[in-house]
């Protein structure tokens, strides 16, 4: 069972609402004796936090993580690591005008009908603010993986599609990803993306995105058939991120269009090492990592909270219109990059530990 807990052995539980006093995350099952400080975690937190550019929400949050347990004299102890992040810039009054209305395309409606009650301030628990806890957990997972697998282990994500604009995936440049505010991997696309997103913001609208994640140096053998396959766990992990509507592994939906010959990633042994001629599988065969780079991608729908007026209903079932002012990302997909990386890190670490249990 797992309402707000993710993972099997390396597990984390998030809690908190957008406009409550704080949000947080409890990481359980972390191996002991791993060096860990709040600084290590802030690297990824800073990549996710809002208010850094005109292309994301203007909510100002330092997202400072405080570790409350599980670390002693700078090292993990194997006991739960509790982390807290105080909400600093909640402006609940922004939500007063829409507290009885349901934003179409948003979880307002379903939360209310499921629970009969909801914290409407800033979307409450439905807010993407929840993902800060995931990024904190993911930062720990990355550190552990680097310790266990080696320094070459790496997970990196990028936005490869911003609304209607694509970029050249073959120009994938990690330095470029770090530099521009879109996590765009292709330098040439950046300028156009800037203009495009500013126009969307100005128009009171929003757009979707596609994010690609690549993990290198993942050992062969991770993934637990049949119902905890590495890819099914990744699909679950990514689909659980706010606004995600599709997940691809390797060729993904396009696998339908390939022939058997095209699709089979032929293998060759070169100096005793297994090499693959292609990677349509995205590094996963039968739910188990093959040693190839693991490549997954996911789509994020456009932000539901837009300035332009939409038809909807209110709590009493009356027809009405809604226009959302507040502070919102014109493309929530951008900040989904570090979140996707975090989820992928947690899944891979979890399977690393699980494989150690059954097969070491």
Binding mask 166-185 for a copy of itself (x = CB under 8 A): --------------------
| Alpha-carbon gap, residue 136 to 299, rounded angstroms | 22
Size of residue set near a copy of itself by CB under 8 A: 152
Binding mask 286-305 for a copy of itself (x = CB under 8 A): xxxxxx-------xxxxxx-
Name the helix (H) or strand (E) containing 38: helix 38-48
Shorter beta-carbon distance to a copy of itself: residue 13 or 57: 13
| Alpha-carbon gap, residue 163 to 298, rounded angstroms | 13
CB of 11 to a copy of itself, least distance (A): 7
| Alpha-carbon gap, residue 279 to 38, rounded angstroms | 37
| 3-class DSSP state of 297 | strand
Q: Which residues, numbered 71-110, are part of the site for a copy of itself (CB under 8 A)?
A: 72, 75-82, 84, 102-107, 109-110
| Alpha-carbon gap, residue 79 to 130, rounded angstroms | 23
CB of 157 to a copy of itself, least distance (A): 15
* Under rule CB under 8 A, residue 56 binds a copy of itself: no
| 3-class DSSP state of 100 | coil
CB of 185 to a copy of itself, least distance (A): 16
CB of 187 to a copy of itself, least distance (A): 21
- Cα 12 to the center of its chain, rounded Å: 14
| 3-class DSSP state of 87 | coil
**Interface with a copy of itself by CB under 8 A: which range of 47-55, 170-178, 189-197, 198-206?**
198-206
CB of 287 to a copy of itself, least distance (A): 7
Shorter beta-carbon distance to a copy of itself: residue 15 or 172: 15
- Structure tokens of 131? 């993902």
| Alpha-carbon gap, residue 292 to 294, rounded angstroms | 6
* Under rule CB under 8 A, residue 192 binds a copy of itself: no
Name the helix (H) or strand (E) containing 24: strand 22-28
CB of 181 to a copy of itself, least distance (A): 18
Q: Which residues, numbered 222-261, are part of the site for a copy of itself (CB under 8 A)?
A: 223-229, 231-240, 242, 245-261
Q: Which residues, numbered 318-357, are part of the site for a copy of itself (CB under 8 A)?
A: 318-319, 333, 353-357
Q: Which residues contact 93 (CB under 8 A, 6 or more apart)?
A: none
Q: Which residues, numbered 1-40, are part of the site for a copy of itself (CB under 8 A)?
A: 1-6, 8-9, 11, 13-17, 20-24, 26, 28-29, 31-33
Shorter beta-carbon distance to a copy of itself: residue 120 or 175: 120
| Pairing assessment for the beta strands 71-72 and 273-276 based on DSSP bridges | unpaired
Q: Which residues, numbered 130-159, are part of the site for a copy of itself (CB under 8 A)?
A: 130
Residue located via tokens 């120009």: 171
Shorter beta-carbon distance to a copy of itself: residue 126 or 180: 126
Shorter beta-carbon distance to a copy of itself: residue 31 or 51: 31
* Under rule CB under 8 A, residue 277 binds a copy of itself: yes
Q: Which residues face 23 on adjacent strands?
A: 16, 85
| 3-class DSSP state of 76 | strand
| Alpha-carbon gap, residue 360 to 357, rounded angstroms | 6
CB of 257 to a copy of itself, least distance (A): 6
User: In the set 57, 126, 180, 345, which binds a copy of itself (CB under 8 A)?
Assistant: 126
User: In the set 122, 124, 138, 157, which binds a copy of itself (CB under 8 A)?
Assistant: 124
List C-alpha distances in Å: 193 to 165, 202, 213, 339.
Answer: 7, 14, 20, 21
Q: Are 225 and 288 in contact (CB under 8 A)?
A: yes
Shorter beta-carbon distance to a copy of itself: residue 175 or 194: 194
């Amino acid at each position: 069972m797992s309402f707000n807990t993710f993972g099997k052995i390396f597990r984390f539980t998030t809690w908190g609402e957008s406009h409550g006093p704080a949000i947080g995350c409890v990481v359980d099952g972390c191996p002991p004796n791993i060096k860990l400080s709040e600084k290590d975690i802030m690297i990824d937190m800073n990549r996710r936090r809002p208010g850094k550019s005109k292309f994301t929400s203007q909510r100002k949050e330092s997202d400072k993580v405080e570790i409350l347990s599980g670390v002693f004299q700078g090292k993990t102890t194997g006991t739960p690591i509790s982390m807290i992040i105080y909400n600093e810039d909640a402006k609940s009054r922004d939500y007063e005008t829409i507290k009885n209305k349901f934003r179409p395309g948003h979880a307002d409606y379903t939360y209310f009908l499921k629970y009969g009650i909801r914290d409407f301030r800033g979307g409450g628990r439905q807010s993407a603010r929840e993902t800060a806890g995931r990024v904190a957990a993911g930062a720990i997972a990355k550190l552990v993986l680097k310790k266990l697998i080696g320094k070459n282990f790496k997970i990196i994500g990028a936005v490869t599609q911003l609304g209607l604009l694509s970029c050249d995936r073959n120009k994938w440049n990690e330095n470029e990803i770090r530099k521009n505010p879109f996590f765009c991997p292709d330098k040439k696309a950046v300028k156009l993306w800037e203009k495009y997103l500013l126009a969307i913001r100005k128009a009171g609208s929003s757009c979707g995105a596609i994010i690609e994640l690549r993990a290198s140096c993942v050992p062969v053998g991770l993934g637990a058939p049949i119902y905890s396959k590495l890819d099914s766990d990744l699909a679950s992990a990514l689909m659980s991120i706010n606004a995600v509507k599709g997940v691809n592994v390797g060729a993904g939906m396009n696998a339908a269009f390939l022939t058997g010959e095209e699709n089979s990633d032929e293998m060759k042994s070169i100096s005793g090492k297994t090499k693959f001629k292609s990677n349509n599988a995205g590094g996963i065969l039968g739910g188990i990592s093959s040693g190839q780079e693991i490549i997954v991608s996911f789509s994020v729908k456009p932000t539901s909270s837009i300035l332009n007026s939409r038809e909807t209903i209110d709590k009493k079932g009356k027809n009405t219109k809604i226009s959302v002012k507040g502070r919102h990302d014109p493309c929530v997909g951008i900040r989904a990059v570090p979140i996707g990386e975090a989820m992928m890190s947690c899944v891979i670490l979890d399977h690393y530990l699980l494989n150690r249990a059954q097969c070491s």
